[in-house]
A = this chain, B = another copy of it.
Amino acid sequence: MTDSGDFDAAWLPSAAFRAVGGRRVLMRAGAGPPADTVHRELADACERFGGRVVRDGVDGDFDLVLGPTGDDPGDEGFTLERRAGTTTVTASGGRGLLYGLFHVVRLGEDAFRGERAREVHRPALASRMLDHWDNVAVHPVMGQVERGYAGGSLFWADGRARGDLERVRAYGRLLAACGINAVALNNVNVHETEARLLTDRIGEVAAIADVLRPYGIRTHLSVTFAAPMVLGGLPTADPLDGAVRAWWAEATRRVYEEIGDFGGYVVKADSEGRPGPFAYGRSHADGANLLAAALEPYGGTVHWRAFVYDHHQDWRDRSTDRARAAYDHFTPLDGEFAPNAVLQVKHGPMDFQVREPVSPLIGAMPRTRVAVEVQATQEYTGQQRHVCWLGPMWSEVLRFRPDGGVSTGRLADGLVAVSNAGDDPFWTGHPLAQANLYAFGRLAWDPAADPRAVLDEWIALTHPGAPARLADGLHAVLDGSWRTYEKYTAPLGVGFMVQPGHHYGPSVDGYEYSPWGTYHFADRDGVGVDRSTATGTGYAGQYAEPWAGVYESPDTCPDELLLFFHHVPYGHVLHSGRTVIQHIYDTHFEGVEEAEEARRVWAGLADLVEPARHARVAERFEEQLRSAREWRDQVNSYFLRKSGVPDARGRTVH
């Protein structure tokens, strides 16, 4: 791939290969898709930068040697060491070598300096998956990609397979370079068109899988639970029905005939109107195990989403709490799911808000494989028109310990993100949103990584040899951007306050009287949702200690989640020393000021950034500022009108 072309090089510009490409490299590995990829990457880099690569040559005077190991760093792991002027990467297979190569690329010249004791690198999470909410055809309301803010689909055009898969190949390469190993190609809301990917149109899926396989990526499909009826003409989709089980077994057998390393299924069932096992009086374990059984002979996995709640709630009923739903539905089923079923749980109990507590369901199912789902596509975080780097948010989730740190186990078995990429030339609409895609992969590999270090890594790869002014500027623009976004949108964890439907821009009461279970309960005296056990919905009691206790009381609840857990008067004093109402005013003014400052910093980088990229970001900043001011003024006006409390600092509130 060249740096020019129809799409941006993102974090793999050719200059990022300068250090590797100037070396004498020996590669010892058998043939096979990922190993061949490693070889081609090395060959391309060496051709460009004057190095030399030998495959399966004898030992000799090499700067870099990649090859098999007798140890076992795992299927995807690798070792790295440097002795006597030679850097050595070993792995037990091609995928490990691929990740090892990209690790060396990230290190740059550092990989070739001094001595380096043997390090073993292996991913903390086995499953590092991107879900594409791709509708294949253009949906009349949701467009081609549901909640997509980066152009159209990477995989389909006008409802048909793209003939040219070069962009998919480039995408796979980018994903491999940050450690992502699984992709689900289509929307979890499976409409009629996408349903057929499983059967008639499996050839299109196989073609994509062929392109992604060299990058160590297994392809998955979202399927409709009603497939035996919709596609198979059966009268039922009952998971305990013999004909239904036979249909899935046969359909799955045919999938694996086409795609031998097919990853498995993703299912949204009994969720926001999708069909599911409830219709037959069966449990979600019954439902998931039906698909797990079909996949088991081939080593496939079913990702079963836990996003089950009542989306026809009555706003008048304050006892029902959507936040409780996933925990209430699924914890009784712990131990009932098949070993190759993964429960896919959104990171928070609601729906990808800018601030939520970590879902109490995560950590509450020790006998179930769990994957945490985050949202790289910025549905509720500025829709790739606002800069909002999510690394710190995801890191907070991944570092959360349900028991407060008593055990040292990892939070989950997998990490899934809804992809933010599309056929936009910059991949992600907002060029700086590339950082989110990159950080997702890196944090899935190493959830303990410092997100600021990941950010700097992304900056260095994307802008090789960047002067300090550029690197510092990019860091300044991105590092605090999530908290800036939080400041000017819904305060103190209360969530939503967005325009219904498309979810862009403010509408404080937009979901307040809706059936969606997303309320703030602001009145003239106070605001927030009482989710305590003593006086509220009892949601706080779904956590283990110490969190149940911490969240139960406004005295111990962290400020940033106060309104998620408690309804308090506007005069309630936060740990910060400010009242709630003054916090609302202050943060909304601050958030806009911070966004203005970020825009100013970006403007100062014009001489250091490729013009088209600079212009795209500058244009997005204009919209971000307009929107941020709208958020500030609507939220502030709303609470001034309601509370009657003026801003202590006398700023303009309309």
Contacts and interface: CB of A to CB of B under 8 A. Distances in A.
Interface in A479-502: 499-501
Given A506-B513, A509-B507, A513-B637, A524 B140 contact: no
Nearest to A138: B140
A315 B640 CA distance: 15
Interface in A509-541: 509-510, 513, 522-525
Instruction: Give the one of A315, A509, A510, A630 with max B CB within 10 A.
Output: A509
A490 B144 CA distance: 37
Number of copies: 2
Nearest to A499: B500
Contact of A525 (B315, B316, B644): B644
A641 B523 contact: yes
A285 to B, nearest CB: 36
Contacts of A523: 640-642, 644
A199 interface: no
Contacts of A524: 524, 641-644
A53 interface: no
A634 interface: yes
A315 B524 CA distance: 22
A654 interface: yes
A356 interface: no
A584 to B, nearest CB: 15
Contacts of A316: 633, 637, 654
A474 B223 CA distance: 51
A633 B508 CA distance: 18
A211 B641 CA distance: 58
A653 to B, nearest CB: 10
A602 to B, nearest CB: 26
Nearest to A316: B654
Given A509-B507, A513-B507, A633-B316, A522 B641 contact: yes
A164 B630 CA distance: 51
A499 B643 CA distance: 24
Interface in A426-449: none
Nearest to A652: B316
Contacts of A501: 501
Contacts of A508: 509, 513
Interface in A628-647: 630, 633-634, 637-638, 640-644
A654 B512 CA distance: 12
A523 B634 CA distance: 13
Interface in A93-151: 140
A499 B500 CA distance: 9
Contact of A634 (B140, B500, B513): B513
Contacts of A633: 316, 513
A513 B654 CA distance: 11
Contacts of A510: 507, 509-510
Nearest to A318: B654
A502 B524 CA distance: 29
A565 B633 CA distance: 25
A642 B644 contact: no
A564 to B, nearest CB: 19
Interface in A301-320: 315-316
A654 to B, nearest CB: 4
Nearest to A525: B644
Contacts of A500: 499-500
Nearest to A522: B641
A330 B193 CA distance: 52
A322 to B, nearest CB: 17
A523 B644 CA distance: 8
A177 to B, nearest CB: 38
A52 to B, nearest CB: 57
A525 B523 CA distance: 13
Interface string A523-565: 1110000000000000000000000000000000000000000
Nearest to A641: B523
A644 to B, nearest CB: 5
A643 B523 CA distance: 9
Contacts of A642: 523-524, 641-642
A520 to B, nearest CB: 11
A500 B524 CA distance: 24
28 contacts: A140-B140, A316-B633, A316-B637, A316-B654, A499-B500, A501-B501, A507-B509, A507-B510, A507-B513, A508-B509, A508-B513, A509-B509, A509-B510, A509-B638, A510-B510, A513-B630, A513-B634, A513-B637, A513-B638, A523-B640, A523-B641, A523-B642, A524-B524, A524-B641, A524-B643, A524-B644, A641-B642, A642-B642
Given A500-B500, A513-B633, A524-B643, 10 more contacts: A316-B637, A501-B501, A509-B638, A510-B510, A523-B640, A523-B642, A524-B524, A524-B642, A524-B644, A642-B642
The 7 closest A-B pairs by CB, nearest first: A523-B641, A316-B654, A509-B509, A513-B634, A524-B524, A524-B644, A524-B642
